[in-house]
Amino acid sequence: MRALSYLLITTIKNWFKNLLKTPGLLIVYVLCIAMFGFMLIPGSAFPPASLERLPYLRAGIYLLFGFILYTGISKGLKSGATFFKMADVNMLFTSPVRPQSILLYGIVGQMGTSLLATLFLLFQVANMRNLLFLDTKGIMALILGWFLTLVITQIVSLSVYSLTAPHPKRRKAGKYILYGLMGLLIGGLLIYVILKGGKPESVLDYFALPFMDYFPLIGWIDGFVTGMIVGDYLKMFICLLLFVLIPALGIVLVRRSDSDYYEDVLQTTEQSF
């Protein structure tokens, strides 16, 4: 574990050193951070925060975050995901380090990648204020929800692939569960809209139903974000616990299964790099 800690710290140090050697890129990062900080400060240029647009936000979370989760899990049932690069395959996989520690190292590295992928949301802070009427807490909730979705999607994808790839019956069952949940979500929406007379606003009302906060994965991240926005911290913590528990359970099962995840991620890593 010390070797991996040293490798991770050295990687971060080298990243900062390379950043200092490229002043243009450093200026971009500084401007992004400064712009993000200014946008978080309430001002007269932005409308006051309110919950008026919360139904639109919930529907948007189900649409965008749900698409990310669906594509990630679907990929896990086909080709899998990887946290590693070819350098990791050549150096780490052949080292005497425990596979569990290497998997943890890959997850930490993936969190860093997801953090960089979250930076583009900084340019949308003004739109979050103007279009969704979010305050600073609401903006932070949405950004944190996006970050968690990116990280956990990769973990679930890897776990699903490692647990189902050697067993065709498991993979088939996984597809049935995934498509069943999607059918339940979409079918429930159609039925609800029909019962409400086909009114367009009934789509927003459907995603605002209380039990939708507990729909697997996507409902949990929606409940976490909206719970933090409205100040319902009990719901926020429950949904966060559920959202983190599933990938954590997947990691435990991968570690204890007879599947060699080295073999599982090797082909995916070769295709990615």
| pTM of structure | 0.75
pLDDT at 27: 77
- Looking at the predicted structure, is the pLDDT value of residue 2 above 60? yes
* 104-118, 188-202, 222-236: least confidently modelled range: 104-118
Q: What is the pLDDT of residue 233?
A: 92
| Stronger pLDDT, 48 or 86, i.e. the higher one | 86
Phi–psi pair at 98, nearest 5 degrees = -60, 135
Q: State the pLDDT at residue 44.
A: 47
- Angstrom CA distances, 85 to 128, 168, 247, 268, 271, stand at 35, 27, 21, 10, 10
Mean pLDDT taken over the chain: 78
pLDDT tens figures, 6-61: 666 777 777 777 777 777 777 777 776 676 666 555 554 455 556 788 889 999 99
Dist. CA 80–CA 5, nearest whole Å:
26
Side-chain-side CA neighbours of residue 215 (13 Å)? 26
Residue 184, pLDDT > 90, answer: yes
Asked if pLDDT for residue 137 goes beyond 70, the answer is yes
CA 206 from chain center: how many Å? Answer: 23
Question: Of 2-11, 60-69, 165-174, which gets the smallest average pLDDT?
Answer: 2-11
Q: What is the reported pLDDT for 75?
A: 78
- Mean local confidence (pLDDT), 122-130: 75
Among 76-85, 190-199, 242-251, which stretch is predicted with the lowest mean pLDDT? 76-85
